Amino acid sequence: MDKLVIRGGRKLSGRLRVSGAKNGSLALMPATILAPGVYHLSNTPNLRDVRTMSQLLGSLGISCELKDNELLIDSSNINSFEAPYEHVKKMRASFYVLGPLVARFGEARVSLPGGCAWGPRPVDLHLKGLEKLGAEIQIDKGYIVARARKLTGAKFHLDISSVGATGNILMAAVLAKGTTLLSNAAAEPEITALAEMLVRMGARIDGIGTSMLEIEGVSQLKPTDHSTLPDRIEAATYLIATAMTGGNIEMENVNPSHLTSVIAKLEEAGCKIDVNGSSIRLEMDGPPNPTDIVTAVYPGIPTDIQAQWTAFMLCAGGTSRITDTVYHDRFKHVPELQRLGAGIEVHDNVAHVAGGRQLSGATVMSSDLRASASLILAALVAEGKTDVLRVYHLDRGYEAM
For ligand UD1, the binding residues (CB under 6 A) are 23, 26, 92-93, 121-126, 160, 162-165, 190, 302-304, 326-327
Burial class (CB in 10 A: 0-12, 13-18, 19+), 220: exposed
Closer to ligand UD1 by CB, 5 or 139: give it. Answer: 139
Closer to ligand UD1 by CB, 43 or 248: give it. Answer: 43
- Please state the closest distance from residue 124 (CB atom) to ligand UD1, in A: 5
Torsion angle defined by CA atoms of residues 138, 139, 141 and 145, in that order, rounded to the nearest 10 degrees: 50
- Please state the closest distance from residue 359 (CB atom) to ligand UD1, in A: 26
Q: What phi-psi label fits residue 271: left (phi over 0), alpha (psi between -120 and 50 degrees) or beta?
A: beta
Between strands 179-183 and 212-216, the pairing is: antiparallel
CA distance linking residue 30 with residue 75, whole number of Å: 10
- Please state the closest distance from residue 96 (CB atom) to ligand UD1, in A: 8
Torsion angle defined by CA atoms of residues 378, 381, 383 and 389, in that order, rounded to the nearest 10 degrees: 30
Residues paired with residue 219 on neighbouring β-strands, in sequence order: none
Q: What is the secondary structure of 134-172 as a DSSP string? A: T-EEEEETTEEEEE-SS-B--EEE-SS--HHHHHHHHHH
Give the helix ranges, DSSP H, for 188-305. Answer: 189-200, 232-244, 260-268
Contact between residue 279 and residue 208 where contact means Cβ atoms under 8 Å apart: no
Closer to ligand UD1 by CB, 165 or 236: give it. Answer: 165
Torsion angle defined by CA atoms of residues 20, 381, 315 and 261, in that order, rounded to the nearest 10 degrees: -10
Q: Any idea what the Cα angle at residue 53 is, between residues 105 and 137, rounded to 5°?
A: 40
**Is 23 strand, coil or helix?**
helix
CA distance linking residue 68 with residue 105, whole number of Å: 32
- Please state the closest distance from residue 396 (CB atom) to ligand UD1, in A: 10
Q: How far is Cα of residue 177 from the mean position of the Cα atoms in its chain? A: 30
Closer to ligand UD1 by CB, 126 or 332: give it. Answer: 126
Please count the other Cβ atoms lying within 10 Å of the Cβ belonging to residue 96. 27
Between strands 204-206 and 319-324, the pairing is: unpaired
Contact between residue 203 and residue 221 where contact means Cβ atoms under 8 Å apart: yes
Provide the annotated active-site residues: 116
- Please state the closest distance from residue 92 (CB atom) to ligand UD1, in A: 5
